A and B are shown apart, each in its own frame.
Chain A
């Protein structure tokens, strides 16, 4: 057992190193720069390559090249940089390249309040690219969970041959807490390689990605961002091949929703009870929600917080079972309401409330959330 005193950003960097990070490229941007600086100091010590790109475009594209060449590769950024990386992320989805992208959310839109916390990138993480596509979006609300979700991100990216986004907000990135690690309990998923001549871009079962090719070893691999058949041959006129490819990449994520969807319930002994109030939260707001729930329970309500540790894909069936008998459902977000749209679909017919706060990086305080909930409950 190891105990460390780490910020969220450091916990992510340490987890990446533990997961076997070989390559990092990034561009300075508040509030993710300290993560990059930590990597710059520590990755070369482990034989890895660190590059500061000339911009976010080069950084994410270097990461993609490095991953194609066999590295476990990652980058970290924040809102504006994340926007710049979207086109390349679409390429990583189309070519099925494992990589981890950490988006430390700050307060937009545009330059906004650049040093302050926000949660406005939820929809950008899910839908930022053009075209039909799916990837995996994980969250964390503490240095401890950031460590775990980073390990998960690397494992999922290798298992499903997909980019994985880890979404945290500035509050968690710069929150210092004790992180406890049992390295014996960490299992890593390594890349699955195929043989020359294999179909590297198709698999019989859409739930399982095809194996990756090795490059520079005579496989004569064709990676192309255009629509391609199972052997990488460009097929830009064939409707059936496009339909098959895009649906397969989509299903690869959604068929594994039970494995990918992760949440944390607080307090756990509330699961079996009839709830007056359920809060659905994510990122730093999950901490506030838990404290609010404690207070509500002390006051005699039956309240429970569901912290979403996966924002995409959401297991709609499972989440709808959890919330179906709730008196009211409250979704606090440090944005004008983004994940609320999913909750409204899942909880059709329930009383669902959106609590939103933006500006100054000021967190939602437990008292104001409590007061809002009491008012909503009495309506």
Chain B
């Protein structure tokens, strides 16, 4: 018997190269489940764009669709170019926290400001996993990494607050321990216009949980325990972000998207 979601995968390239216990597989399954529940049978009119890092490998080469595996940090602008020329395609950016929030952070900010018609999924494992687990812009304060041997003195970036403030239509954060919520968030985001940003807190088993001497499963329990839904907070503050994992929807609105605005420019020029 075949896996019910195998149609979304390039079966001939399996198994994946992801480390045992990696969270990327959970994100992939949640996304595929969302496709299935939305009756999206093939991904023929989907284009996935990714940059550099483990998360970039999720669509390229494993998802059976067109994919563009670009250079570090530039997945969002490449995706914008594709979307503006072929507005009827669904363009999805997948990347890690180093790629999307670090080197590509400026593009994230401006894509949100423009309410660009893209779905961006940032899988946040809180380190630069592929290069050896160095500190990332999302690494918790105080943590030791190969480049913060005396502890991290940089505070982590709350990308969801930033992207929501910049003007995106939809912003949510979940963890790989929230499978159902994550799947439902993907379903919702896939049906919306404008810039949609989903951050997924994940685990790096080779560069994080192993150093903490805990199993990936134990880490998943920990992040679940640390999660507080944003609805339960009167106001999200940065202190709360630093001490917990804030999950849930940061924003859900329906502003006119960039594509609609630029179509009017072309019409009226």
Give chain A's interface residues, CB within 8 Å of chain B.
22-23, 25, 44-45, 47-49, 51, 53-55, 57-59, 61-71, 73, 87-88, 90-91, 95, 213, 215-226, 233-234
Interfacial chain B residues near A213, Cβ < 8 Å: 66
Contact B86 A70 (CB under 8 A): yes
* Nearest residue, chain B, Cβ from A62: B81
How distant is the Cα of A102 from the Cα of B201 in the complex, in angstroms? Answer: 42
Contact A65 B79 (CB under 8 A): yes
- Which of A54, A61, A62 gathers most chain B CB within 10 Å? A61
Which of chain B's residues 71-128 have a Cβ closer than 8 Å to chain A? Answer: 71, 73-74, 76-86, 88-89, 106-107, 109-110
How distant is the Cα of A208 from the Cα of B110 in the complex, in angstroms? Answer: 39
How distant is the Cα of A223 from the Cα of B50 in the complex, in angstroms? Answer: 10
Contact A65 B66 (CB under 8 A): no
Bitwise, B40-61 to A at CB < 8 A (1) or not (0) is 0010111101000000000011
The answer to whether A223 and B67 touch (CB under 8 A), given A69-B86, A70-B86, is yes
The answer to whether A221 and B66 touch (CB under 8 A), given A51-B84, A216-B89, is yes
* Nearest residue, chain B, Cβ from A217: B44
Contact B70 A61 (CB under 8 A): yes
Query: Is B68 interfacial (CB 8 A cutoff)?
Result: yes
Which of chain B's residues 175-193 have a Cβ closer than 8 Å to chain A? Answer: none
* Nearest residue, chain A, Cβ from B266: A44
Interfacial chain A residues near B88, Cβ < 8 Å: 216
Q: Given known contacts A51-B80, A58-B76, what 6 new A-B pairs fall within 8 Å (CB)?
A: A44-B266, A49-B262, A49-B266, A64-B81, A68-B81, A215-B66
Pairs A-B, 4 closest by C-beta atoms: A65-B81, A44-B269, A61-B77, A66-B81
Q: Determine how close the nearest CB of chain A comes to the CB of B229; give it in whole angstroms.
A: 33
Interfacial chain B residues near A71, Cβ < 8 Å: 81, 85
Which of these, A59, A220, A234, contacts B64 with CB under 8 Å?
Answer: A220
How distant is the Cα of A53 from the Cα of B80 in the complex, in angstroms? Answer: 10
Which of these, A62, A88, A224, contacts B60 with CB under 8 Å?
Answer: A224
* Nearest residue, chain A, Cβ from B262: A49
Query: Is B69 interfacial (CB 8 A cutoff)?
Result: yes
Contact A69 B71 (CB under 8 A): no
Indicate the size class of the contact surface on chain B: 35 or more
How distant is the Cα of A88 from the Cα of B75 in the complex, in angstroms? Answer: 11
The answer to whether A87 and B85 touch (CB under 8 A), given A44-B265, A54-B107, A216-B44, is no
Query: Is B65 interfacial (CB 8 A cutoff)?
Result: yes
Which of these, B73, B78, B86, B262, contacts A216 with CB under 8 Å?
Answer: B86
Interfacial chain B residues near A51, Cβ < 8 Å: 80, 84, 262
Interfacial chain B residues near A54, Cβ < 8 Å: 106-107, 109-110
Q: Determine how close the nearest CB of chain A comes to the CB of B135; give it in whole angstroms.
A: 23
The answer to whether A234 and B81 touch (CB under 8 A), given A44-B266, A225-B71, is no
Contact B47 A216 (CB under 8 A): yes
* Nearest residue, chain B, Cβ from A226: B69
Q: Determine how close the nearest CB of chain A comes to the CB of B66; give it in whole angstroms.
A: 5
Contact B106 A67 (CB under 8 A): no
Interfacial chain A residues near B262, Cβ < 8 Å: 49, 51
Q: Determine how close the nearest CB of chain A comes to the CB of B233; give it in whole angstroms.
A: 31
Contact A65 B68 (CB under 8 A): yes
Interfacial chain A residues near B45, Cβ < 8 Å: 216-217
How distant is the Cα of A58 from the Cα of B70 in the complex, in angstroms? Answer: 12
Contact B82 A58 (CB under 8 A): no
Q: Determine how close the nearest CB of chain B comes to the CB of A365; give it in whole angstroms.
A: 43
Which of these, A48, A55, A62, A87, contacts B78 with CB under 8 Å?
Answer: A62
How distant is the Cα of A226 from the Cα of B106 in the complex, in angstroms? Answer: 24
Interfacial chain B residues near A88, Cβ < 8 Å: 71, 74
How distant is the Cα of A233 from the Cα of B69 in the complex, in angstroms? Answer: 11
Interfacial chain A residues near B74, Cβ < 8 Å: 57-58, 61, 88, 91
How distant is the Cα of A88 from the Cα of B72 in the complex, in angstroms? Answer: 10
Contact A218 B42 (CB under 8 A): yes
Interfacial chain B residues near A223, Cβ < 8 Å: 66-69
Interfacial chain B residues near A61, Cβ < 8 Å: 70, 74, 77-78, 81
Interfacial chain A residues near B42, Cβ < 8 Å: 218
Interfacial chain B residues near A68, Cβ < 8 Å: 68, 78, 81-82
Bitwise, B139-158 to A at CB < 8 A (1) or not (0) is 00000000000000000000
Q: Determine how close the nearest CB of chain B comes to the CB of A203; give it in whole angstroms.
A: 21
How distant is the Cα of A220 from the Cα of B7 in the complex, in angstroms? Answer: 13
The answer to whether A58 and B107 touch (CB under 8 A), given A45-B269, A216-B44, A219-B66, is yes
* Nearest residue, chain B, Cβ from A233: B61
Interfacial chain B residues near A216, Cβ < 8 Å: 44-47, 66, 86, 88-89
Interfacial chain A residues near B80, Cβ < 8 Å: 51, 58, 62, 65
